[in-house]
């Protein structure tokens, strides 16, 4: 079994367990069924870096996040807006400014189209 097949099996096992009531996915889980274009538009290297830095370093403001990743504030702000629209990041006003936090800590990204995923899940 190659690496991709192992990943697909892991996703299938998680979805099967959730459907069968064997597990409850964490509240902070989001399942994306996106086309290749939608996925590559949403998950860029820079946005993944923002997600990881927010989760690991807990910046107190968007400016601090921009400093952590050595990017300009407007660019970070644009990326955060996309992540907020997709429910991955949330922001709240704090003492030092607007603080970004992870709204979701687990992303499940099926690597097949939804119809194919249903065939995998049932077979």
Q: What is the pLDDT of residue 74?
A: 97
* pTM, rounded to two decimals: 0.67
The second-level CATH assignment, the architecture, of 3-122 is Orthogonal Bundle (1.10)
- Region 102-106: mean pLDDT is 81
Q: What's the mean per-residue pLDDT of the chain?
A: 79
Tell me the Ramachandran region of residue 54: left when phi exceeds 0, alpha when psi lies from -120 to 50, beta otherwise.
Answer: alpha
DSSP H/E element including 29: strand 29-31
Mean pLDDT for the stretch of residues 54-62: 95
Q: Where are the domains of the chain?
A: 3-122
% the chain with pLDDT above 90:
41
């Amino acid at each position: 079994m190659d690496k991709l097949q192992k990943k697909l099996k892991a996703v299938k096992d998680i979805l099967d367990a959730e459907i069968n009531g064997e597990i409850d996915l964490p509240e902070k889980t989001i399942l994306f069924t996106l086309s290749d274009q939608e996925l590559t538009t949403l998950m860029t290297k820079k946005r993944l870096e923002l997600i990881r830095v927010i989760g690991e370093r807990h910046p107190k403001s968007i400016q601090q996040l921009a400093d952590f990743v050595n990017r300009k504030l407007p660019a970070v702000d644009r990326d955060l807006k996309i992540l907020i629209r997709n429910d991955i990041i949330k922001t709240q006003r704090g003492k030092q400014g607007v603080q970004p936090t992870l709204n979701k800590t687990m992303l499940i990204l099926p690597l097949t189209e939804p119809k194919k995923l249903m065939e995998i899940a049932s077979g």
